[in-house]
Structure 1
Amino acid sequence: MLSRQLMLPRLAVRAIHTSSSLTSGHHIEHWWGPEKAVGRELVGFGSNGDNIYQDRLDYWYPAIRFRKEDGVISPLRQKEQSDWKKLTPEEKKILYRYSFRQTLSEYEAPTGYWKVMTAVVLSVMAFATYYAVFLNAYVYPELPPTFQNEYKEAQVERALVLEKGNFLGAPTKYDYENKKWK
């Protein structure tokens, strides 16, 4: 079965679920369980109130931070509380990467899934074409003689002769003396 991101690459919501609620019978792709959320700071409500991390275009504010607190980020969090002008660009990037998985431009970057989808569609079309050719060549019988043009013309002439006296329909449009249509 194709993953959600492969089927709908632009519409898919890329999420790391850390809530403990699982609906029965449904498989959630990136479910990590509540034990993986330990050490992550709860920073907001999220899009629907669950404690999950989601990269979304319509709601770009996840409920928890992307990475756990560790020895690298703890001093930066303390430094973050004071003046931001004292932070170097590298420290700002580290702070961002600990809060978010990817930037907006990384999220919107083309993934190349259109190539896979195009290959699948063209493969299905090729298979259907080969199957139709196979059926026409080996399965279907020859066309009956009633499909030939000579037979169709003879049928029209026969109908005109049989309906010569009618005042409605095709015989009214046929010139019987010159043997051509009016």
Structure 2
Amino acid sequence: MANILLRRALIDAIRVPAGTRASSELAKIGNREWVGYGYNGQPNYVDRPDFPIPAVRFRPDTPDIKVLREKEKGDWRKLTLEEKKALYRASFCQTFAEFQAPTGEWKGVLGWALTIASLSIWIYMGMKLFVYSPLPESFDEDAQKAQLKRMLDLKVNPVDGLSSKWDYENNRWK
């Protein structure tokens, strides 16, 4: 119970009171306006396609932007294209096309993955050459054939094993 109360007190201390946001004069975060809920209700800016309106404006209000904000309350046809772009850039860092464009980050990730894979192969080859002992003689093909012949001569597991599949009269596999 105490944990829930502590968590609630911390959340309430961090958040701006709801009445502040609902007042006619918008709340300020530093020197930037709080203009919406955002994606989690906190006063932060992030460009996200699933929540296109961030909680705070990207840039603080400068005297030039304040003049443009007063001008935007009137007829938008009287604004020039540069003024509209300046208003947009004051509120947003990037356009949808800019923040959804591929960054090419995958190239670096792929490069590092291939570098690490190459390094691990070189380490394995070095271990195989300098650390591991050579394979025993029983891994040679001639030794394996001799072992198979000996197992057949001794009739190892004659009921359902290897010797059951050998034809001893004709000296060949059944």
3-state DSSP of counterpart to 1:72: helix
Instruction: Report the AA paired with residue 73 of structure 1.
Output: I
Q: Structure 1: which 5+ runs fail to align?
A: 1-19, 22-35
Of the two structures, which has the highest relative contact order with CA contacts closer than 8 Å and spacing of 6 or more?
Answer: 1
Find the structure with the greater CA-based Rg. Answer: 2
Q: CA RMSD in A?
A: 1.9
CA offsets 1:106-135 (integer angstroms, 9 cap, x no match) = 101121211111111011001101001101
* Counterpart position of 2:139: 147
1:164 is displaced (CA, Å) by 7.0
Contact 2:156 2:162 in 1 (8 A): no
Contact 2:166 2:173 in 1 (8 A): yes
User: CA 1:61/1:137 → structure 2, altered by over 3 Å: closer, same or farther?
Assistant: same
* Counterpart position of 1:58: 50
Indicate which of 58, 72, 78 corresponds to 1:86: 78
Contact 2:57 2:92 in 1 (8 A): yes
3-state DSSP of counterpart to 2:68: helix
1:165 is displaced (CA, Å) by 8.8
> Scaled by the length of structure 2, what TM-score is found?
0.79
* Counterpart position of 1:125: 117
Distance 2:88 2:145 in 1: 80
User: Which has the larger helix fraction?
Assistant: 2
Distance 1:160 1:114 in 2: 58
Q: Percent identity?
A: 43
Displacement over 6 Å in runs of 4+: none
Q: Structure 2: which 5+ runs fail to align?
A: 1-12, 15-27
3-state DSSP of counterpart to 1:47: coil
User: CA 1:97/1:165 → structure 2, altered by over 3 Å: closer, same or farther?
Assistant: closer
Of 162-171 and 142-151, deviating more is 162-171
Indicate which of 12, 25, 40 corresponds to 2:32: 40
1:177 is displaced (CA, Å) by 2.7
Count how many residue pairs are aligned between Structure 1 and Structure 2. Answer: 149
